[in-house]
Structure 1
């Protein structure tokens, strides 16, 4: 499996999400847009996207450590699948040589490719089990309109939510909160 921090994570790479581009209408033939990424208010990257029927053409510049800037312009092909209730879903076909996976998100390095090609893990895959449980409990609290602070009271049932759903979320949050206690803290409590 490798060391604890052996893989880079998706959050450290620039990403193109075709669901977001589709929602905003940029994947229609003839559509185009420019995306910019920034870190601490400073622009760190941009990409121009021009849509054609079966592909998008990406245009951007990148620089490897100590090397000169390099201009890139290449197509990322699109694949479409039918949805059960009508319409269609658009996918990127990973442009990395030998891959051709159908993916919703491509990540930018020297080329935009899928997370498998860059061997990227999700942040949650690097979290300890108790940390994932805490994240889940906090997510449920926020879904119910509350604060992620575990010291605050559990949020009331939102208007329009079924009691059965609310009760289910309460039990799930309580279970996640119980699992979120780190093992060293449990040992500390038991030793006293």
Structure 2
């Protein structure tokens, strides 16, 4: 008779899904860091004059910063606050299996029948452990994926706003005349 491994396979699937979520968030962290650096660089060039193009640039930079803050918030919600369930230690499971066999050996006269019944109940216990762990891990992964999806949505908004702010930044800085540099020469001997 072939053993059913549905619960075991699903348990490992949820662990792989957790790792996949972690890996996808590492790319997000890198992109957010680049956007924050670019936003900071563009904000250093902003002046307080009341021209329409400068006000537009400041507003788009503020909106970009707010969208990046939302992205970071959702990333943090996707990373922290989750406890995953794992299969018990193999030594503990070996001990439990031995206890099942000892219990059934005391109940039955035939050792082969006792061992067969014990292993059948033990397999059911193992499946119950896998199912319980999988349910918890699957719920965690579903919640984390929802937060990661929101973080990705806000990242796209951040990228669009960053591009608009970049166009405004370039139109203000490319056409602007260079400021003369004043040099003081001392000690001309």
TM, length-normalised to structure 1? 0.22
Higher relative contact order (CA 8 A, sep 6+): 2
> When you count helix as a share of all residues, which structure comes out higher?
2
> When you count strand as a share of all residues, which structure comes out higher?
1
